[in-house]
Amino acid sequence: MADSERRIAGRAMRRKLMGDAYADKLDSSVYSNPIMEKFAEVTQETIFGTLWTRPGLDLKTRALIVVISDVAQGRDPELKLHLRFARNQGWTEDELSEALLHLAGYVGAPLVREALLTACEVFKEMNAEK
C-alpha cells in the first residue's frame, strides 16, 4: 500500500526535527523491528503528519511543549528524543536547563533532577556528534 500524503509529510517533519543522521540511526535500530515499523507508520502519519504540521504554533514552541510534557510525566526515554528536537529547533542548552529548573516548583524536584540528568546526557551526545 502506498504511503498517504500525511505520512509522507510526517516522515519529512520527523527527519527535520531529529536530524537526518539520528533518524537514520533510529530507523536502522529501533524501527527495523516489524512491530516497531507499525508504530512508526502510525506516528509518522498521526503525530508528525497531523499535529506537528498544524498551523498556529512554530516548531520551536511545539518542541518546548513536548519537552515540558515529558518532564511532567517522568518520560525520560521520550525526553531524550524531544530534547534533541528542541535543540534542533534553536533552543540553547541554557534555555532548556532553565525551563527544566522552572518546572521544579510545579512538577517536583525528583522529576526535574531526572530530566536534568537526561539533558546532560543528550547535550553531551549531541556535542560529540558535531
Could you give the count of Cα atoms lying within 13 Å of 71 in the half-sphere of its Cβ?
31
> What pLDDT is attached to residue 1?
59
* CATH 1.20.1290.10 location in the chain: 57-130
Burial of 15 (0-12, 13-18, 19+ CB in 10 A): middle
> What pLDDT is attached to residue 22?
94
Q: pLDDT for 95-121, tens place per residue? A: 999 999 999 999 999 999 999 999 999
Q: What is the mean pLDDT of the chain?
A: 96
Give Cα separations from 111 to 21, 43, 47 (angstroms): 29, 26, 25
Q: pLDDT for 12-34, tens place per residue? A: 999 999 999 999 999 999 999 99
Question: Could you confirm whether domain 57-130 is CATH 1.20.1290.10?
Answer: yes
| Locus of grid cell 506516528 | 43
pTM for this structure? 0.92
